[in-house]
Amino acid sequence: MIPLIKTNEELTQTFRETLDNLFDKQGFDPSVFARKYLAEMLTSFSRSESSAFKKIFQSITLLRYSLSAPLSYYHSPENNRQNLRDLGDCCLMLTGIFHDFISRNGQGQVKYHYMVGSSSYASISQTLTNFDRQRLYLELAEEFEGFSETIRQLSVPELKKRNIMDIYNLFEQTKDPFYLSVLQEQLVEQGQYLVNLNQF
């Protein structure tokens, strides 16, 4: 039985360990600051009472239905830096956790979210004087797509519970390499091997 995680600290530590394992698997070596930031961000979004959790739904509306509104909306004079951070975080979560939802309108939408999120973090970096914090947001901006892909990997254990043909059908529908990699892992884990990966 999985023990109930009661505190933010425990949940953040769990995310940190999970992310570290995923980074190792991907051969991706982000800074300690970025690892900490992502773990704390995931904890924030996982709490239903979190204001950040509500903002993701606001961002879905802004980013899906108004391509010109997001940056102008978040560039409001009051609390500009926090607004940009919220936008960057939401884009990271949308492209990671809700990737399939975003990609329904085409990969152009995914790339648009990458661009908005990366630009938001980059804008924050330009306003900071503390070197470590400046480097953190610059790293989040430059490696945005990689971080998004890592967050997306969090869904793999749940995805693997599905029938292999379900995963194959998802790949056939989307042609997304993500599903191909999950399918390959499933086949290997079950003692089956792809004779020719190009058959997919």
Residue 5 phi, psi (nearest 5): -90, 120
Q: How confident is the model at residue 68 (pLDDT cuts 50, 70, 90)?
A: very low
Residue 33 has pLDDT above 60, yes or no: yes
Q: Which helix H or strand E contains 149, and what residues bound it?
A: helix 144-152
Give Cα 139 distance to the centre of its chain: 15
For 156-181, what is each residue's pLDDT tens digit? 666 666 677 776 776 677 677 776 67
Which two three-digit tokens encode residue 49?
């009472």
Q: What is the pLDDT of residue 143?
A: 97
Residue 67's alpha-carbon distances to 56, 59, 99, 145, in angstroms, are 16, 11, 18, 20
Which one is predicted more confidently, 66 or 190? Answer: 190
Which pTM was predicted? 0.73
Domain ranges of the chain: 8-154, 160-200
Top-ranked range on mean pLDDT: pick from 23-27, 41-45, 52-56, 141-145: 141-145
Residues making up the chain, counted from first to last: 200
- In this structure, how many other beta carbons lie within 10 angstroms of the beta carbon of residue 85? 21
Contact 138, 92 (CB under 8 A): no
